[in-house]
Amino acid sequence: MSGSRYTKMSSQVIEKMENELAFKGSCQDLPLSSSYEAAMEALSSLITRQKRGDRTPVGGKFGKLERMSIYLRILGLEEKISGLKVIHVAGTKGKGSTCAFCEAILRECGFRTGLFTSPHLIDVSERFRLDGLDVSEDKFLIYFWDCWSQLKENVSEDLPMPPLFQFLTILAFKIFISEQVDVAIIEVGLGGKKDSTNVIKEPVVCGITSLGLDHMEALGNTLGEIASHKAGIFKPQIPAFTVPQLSEAMDVLEETAGGLMVPLQVAVPLDIQRWGGDTLSLSGDHQLVNAGLAVSLCKCWLQRTGNWEKLLEKKQDEVAAGLELPPAFVRGLSTARLSGRAQIVHDTPLMFNGSADTSENSGELTFYLDGAHSPESMEACARWFSGATKANKTSTPLSSPPSTSFNVLNMKSFWGNGCLNYENDCVQSSNKMSKQILLFNCMDVRDPQILLPRLVNICGSSGTHFSKALFVPSVSTYNKVTSGTSVITSDIPTTRDLSWQYNLQRIWEKIIHGKDVSLDKSSKMDSVDSLPPHELLYQDISHCSPTDRNFACSAVMPSLPLTIKWLRDCVKENPSLRLQVLVTGSLHLVGDVLKLLRR
Ligand SMILES: Nc1ncnc2c1ncn2[C@@H]1O[C@H](COP(=O)(O)OP(=O)(O)OP(=O)(O)O)[C@@H](O)[C@H]1O
Ligand SMILES: [Mg+2]
Ligand SMILES: [Mg+2]
CA of 368 to the centre of ligand 1 (A): 15
Q: Is 215 annotated to bind ligand?
A: yes
| Intervals of CATH 3.40.1190.10 along the chain | 58-335
Whether ligand 1 lies within 6 angstroms of the CB of 214 is answered as no
Pocket test for ligand 1, best of 187, 246, 377 (most atoms within 8 A of CB): 377
482: helix, strand or coil: coil
Delimiting residues of CATH 3.90.190.20 domain(s) in the chain: 343-598
pLDDT score for 598: 80
What digits encode the pLDDT tens for the residues 21-31?
Answer: 555 555 555 55
pLDDT digits (tens, 9 = 90+) for 139-182: 999 999 999 999 999 998 889 999 999 999 999 999 999 999 99
- The DSSP element (H or E) to which 459 belongs, if any, is helix 448-461
343-598: CATH architecture: Alpha-Beta Complex (3.90)
- Pocket lining: 380 vs ligand 1, CB cutoff 6 Å: yes
230 lines ligand 1 (CB under 6 A): no
118 is in an annotated binding site: yes
Radius of gyration (Cα) for the chain, nearest Å?
A: 24
- pLDDT, tens only, 77-108: 999 999 999 999 999 999 999 999 999 999 99
Coarse DSSP helix, strand, coil percentages of the chain, rounded to the nearest 5 percent: 45, 10, 45
Which CATH code is given to the segment(s) 58-335? 3.40.1190.10
Highest mean pLDDT among 26-40, 358-372, 438-452: 438-452
Of the residues 52, 88, 97, which should be mutated to test ligand 1's pocket, given the most ligand atoms within 8 Å of the CB? Answer: 97
- Tens of pLDDT, residues 535-551: 777 666 556 665 555 55
Atom of ligand 1 nearest to the CA of 289: 1
Q: Higher-confidence residue: 24 or 298?
A: 298
For ligand 2, the distance from its centroid to the CA atom of residue 157, given in whole angstroms, is 31
187 is in an annotated binding site: yes
**Interface TM-score (ipTM) > 0.85:** yes
pLDDT tens digit string along 435-493? Answer: 999 999 999 989 999 999 999 999 999 999 999 999 999 887 666 777 666 655 555 55
Ligand 2 mean position, distance from CA 92 (Å): 6
Spatial distance between the Cα atoms of 306 and 300, rounded to a whole number of angstroms: 10
Q: Which residues surround ligand 3, an ion (CB under 5 A)?
A: 95-96
With the most atoms of ligand 1 within 8 angstroms of its CB, the residue from 52, 89, 93, 188 to mutate is: 93
For the Cβ of 96 lying below 6 angstroms from any atom of ligand 1, the answer is yes
On average, the pLDDT of the chain sits at 82
286 lines ligand 1 (CB under 6 A): yes
Question: 14 pLDDT band (50/70/90 cuts)?
Answer: very low
What pLDDT does residue 549 have?
A: 52
For residue 91, give the ligand 1 atom closest to its CA. 21
Give the pLDDT band of residue 254 (cuts 50, 70, 90): very high
Helices (H), 125-212: 137-154, 164-178
Find the 383 Cα to ligand 1 centroid distance in Å: 13
In this structure, which ligand is nearest to the CA of 290?
1
Rounded to an integer, the average pLDDT of 120-126 is 92
The DSSP annotation for 309-321 comes to HHHHHHHHHHHHT
Which comes out higher in pLDDT, residue 563 or 310?
Answer: 563
Query: Does residue 174 line the site of ligand 1, with CB under 6 A?
Result: no
Name the band, by pLDDT with cuts 50, 70 and 90, for residue 432. confident
Binning pLDDT at 50, 70 and 90, where does residue 194 land? Answer: very high
Q: Is 192 in the pocket of ligand 1 (CB under 6 A)?
A: no
Task: Tell me what pLDDT residue 274 has.
Answer: 83
- Residue type for 224, please? G
Q: What is the pLDDT of residues 577-586, one digit of tens each?
A: 899 999 999 9
- Burial string for 535-560 (b: 16+ CB within 10 Å, else e) reads ebbbbeeeebebeeeebbbbbbbbbb
Asked if residue 370 has its Cβ within 6 Å of ligand 1, the reply is yes
Ligand 2 center to 96 CA (angstroms): 9
pLDDT in tens, 373-398: 999 899 999 999 999 998 765 433 32
